[in-house]
Structure 1
């Protein structure tokens, strides 16, 4: 049986996140693998996979802030807000040429900070139990509600004026649930020329970086990040004694709420194994997620 742990994979373009999970299941010989956030087939970059009992940690990873590198093409709109969609509008070359760098900067500033963003119609959001992209592909009208997200960085790295279009290479730091495709769409709309995403790469999820990720071909030979190590990176570590570890595993509360400096922490037993994620309950600590017991080592 596969050991529990976290696996960082650098997803290539042209395959789905589920394809990566399927390959990991075959390579590691287990069905119990999940991921902390999908990437579109067009996109590349970091997928965080949980293996065996470490799938329980994905709950604490999926909501982490993320970093993306992307290319936005101004001057052309698509029905999916990215290059996989069908072109729906093309701005006049003279109108695109009149878009100044200052106007682009102003448009980006307006999309930075806390914003109300309407997700792309072709998204995985469920509407009355069905995925928005399934409804859209079936020709049904999809109206998604705006949601509050935070874009803490929206920075242009390079601007290329190419005929009747403007390509922007950007980097974005944002909260979970932010659609980079929607940023491209909304920037293009604000500038009056339309826009869509032509490239997207996720480089960070919380404390995990794509530089530590492996290719899909190297999954079988890769050592997993131990649950205790991964949990400590995500929520911080709290050392507990053997008796405390036993009590937490049995659902009991332990004294020592004052030892917890943050909202929660990873309880690590004397053998370096992850007991679970604990939270403060008054002056005590309670495990809100218990890990299956590992074999020491």
Structure 2
């Protein structure tokens, strides 16, 4: 009979909060691939073992993808307990002005809009999941990976030189993501839809905004594991779900969501104008 694999407890630090994860050495080996996709985690720091009881125990032999999904679901619960939402959003900031959140489903054009905003001097704060303090309405950090699809990027921004190839996605996070030391106040939240349509923008009604905030804040739970039967959604119990709903209501009442349609460059210009106006009046 084979001996059970050696397991240790590792401290996963996310925006100053700790999740203690019991795992075999496979987690440490895959850490460079996992860390950029965990919100608030610094990929440049090593994964450290600790002498403590685990909050999460990863099954032996779990692949890196499932390991990341399980850790992220538990980070969702951890941060929710501190009034922080793990939002499916790209966050950008500009020195002295604050941050903007780009919302939308997969393929809506959040990344393309972010690329256009980087060209206007903005920096990426969260590449896919942003940690939002829902009471202070500040961004505490986010995922370090900023994955750009080559084909649409080449279509809208040929100057980047991202010619379509066998590698569909490229991570520009090491070049474009920056991490301010302090929480960054949010100036604007925008639901984007990139396309050739006539440019348009408007403020979303509060009921629809609540639904969008709720959907975006459940992103890390809405995942199916490849090699396990765990239902991640069940990690958020009734009290936690009610707490998230309360935070979403507060957020929707204080931070409106605007919609923006059109080419990414035009959307970026309108978002910047909106952010600057709110920065002056905030």
Which of 1 and 2 has greater Rg?
1
Judging by fraction of residues, say which structure has more strand.
1
Flag the structure with higher helix content.
Answer: 2
TM-score (normalizing by structure 1): 0.24
Q: Structure 2-normalised TM-score?
A: 0.25
